[in-house]
Amino acid sequence: MGDTATEAKTDTKTNDYYSFRFRSTGLGEQMLMGEPLKFLIVDDMLVMQVQTTEPVQWVIRAGFTYRGLLRALKLALNPSVIKFLLFGWKSIKNPKLTSNF
């Protein structure tokens, strides 16, 4: 049995579907794709780790302070986000994924 990151890469390559996609102005047009790895509590922060698998294998970390997490949750209460959470499962079999975000 391999490590989680390797298993995630194998599964996503088979399905050609990645849970997370990242764009950065510092990377130009390059898009990173990956899978969630884990959440950790580090001091007073909730840290989310994502294993990127395409085009490079990196572990990206995002640290949320309590106040930052509350802000993210408040932003997620937007009606369009709630609609996506409730009905997004309909696109699981045939997702329409854009690189323009």
- Per-residue pLDDT 10s for the chain (101 aa) are 444 444 444 343 434 677 888 888 888 888 899 999 999 999 999 999 999 998 999 999 999 999 999 999 999 999 999 999 999 888 888 888 888 88
Supply the pLDDT for residue 28: 85
Question: Where exactly are the structural domains of the chain?
Answer: 4-91
> How many whole angstroms from its chain centre is CA 32?
10
Supply the pLDDT for residue 42: 96
12: Cβ contacts below 8 Å, ≥ 6 apart: 18, 19, 33, 35, 53
pTM: 0.70
